[in-house]
């Protein structure tokens, strides 16, 4: 597989929701690139505890959706909350979604999809606390390990990562 996958994340990203899908893409022969709202590196978390740091490969404001074959939005509570308040991140997600290429979001990751206005008429899953946000944005929330709605792949939590990764790789 010679696909290029953008991972959009910032400080507060749930570590395994970034590292495990990235490893799956790279193990399958794809190229992964970490996009963020800042330069330098991001601080991952393991629930509420600090995890590792990861180098940012490109600022999202400088990224072009046409350069990627898929987009992954890892969770963590703080990460998508920071992303959904950043104009460049929201625009990138909205523009990427419009390409029709795969978009995969796990846990709290769909918050950025809500902000980008792309969940209306879609069925998706997430961490349960996003149920009301997704419904209010016109989406249908389901409690499933992984849900695929056209180009959109969503999962609920770290335990769902194996199913999330399989669905992502199938789309690629």
Domain ranges across the chain: 4-171
Whether residue 100 has pLDDT greater than 80: yes
Catalytic center residues: 107
Question: What is the mean predicted confidence (pLDDT) over 131-142?
Answer: 98
Name the pLDDT band for 1 (thresholds 50, 70, 90): confident
Domain 4-171 matching CATH 3.40.50.880: the answer reads yes
Report helix angle 161-171 to 15-27, nearest 10.
40
The pTM assigned to this predicted structure is 0.98
Name the pLDDT band for 108 (thresholds 50, 70, 90): very high
What confidence tens digit (pLDDT) does each residue in 6-27 have? 999 999 999 999 999 999 999 9
Whether residue 141 has pLDDT greater than 80: yes
pLDDT at 66 (0 to 100)? 98
Question: What is the mean predicted confidence (pLDDT) over 137-145?
Answer: 98
pLDDT at 149 (0 to 100)? 98
């Amino acid at each position: 597989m010679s696909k290029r996958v953008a991972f959009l994340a910032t400080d507060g990203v749930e570590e395994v929701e970034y590292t495990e899908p990235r490893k799956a893409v790279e193990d399958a022969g794809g190229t992964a690139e970490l996009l963020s709202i800042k330069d330098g590196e991001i601080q991952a978390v393991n629930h509420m505890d600090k995890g590792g740091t990861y180098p940012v490969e490109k600022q999202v404001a400088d990224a072009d959706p046409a350069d990627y074959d898929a987009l992954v939005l890892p969770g963590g509570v703080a990460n998508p909350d920071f992303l959904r308040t950043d104009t460049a991140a929201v625009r990138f997600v909205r523009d990427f979604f419009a390409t029709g290429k795969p978009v995969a979001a796990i846990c709290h990751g769909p918050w950025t999809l809500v902000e980008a206005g792309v969940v209306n008429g879609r069925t998706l899953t997430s961490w349960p606390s996003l149920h009301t946000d997704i419904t209010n944005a016109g989406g249908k929330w389901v409690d499933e390990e992984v849900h695929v709605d056209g180009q959109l792949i969503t999962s609920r939590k770290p335990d769902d990562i194996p199913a999330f990764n399989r669905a992502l790789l199938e789309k690629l």
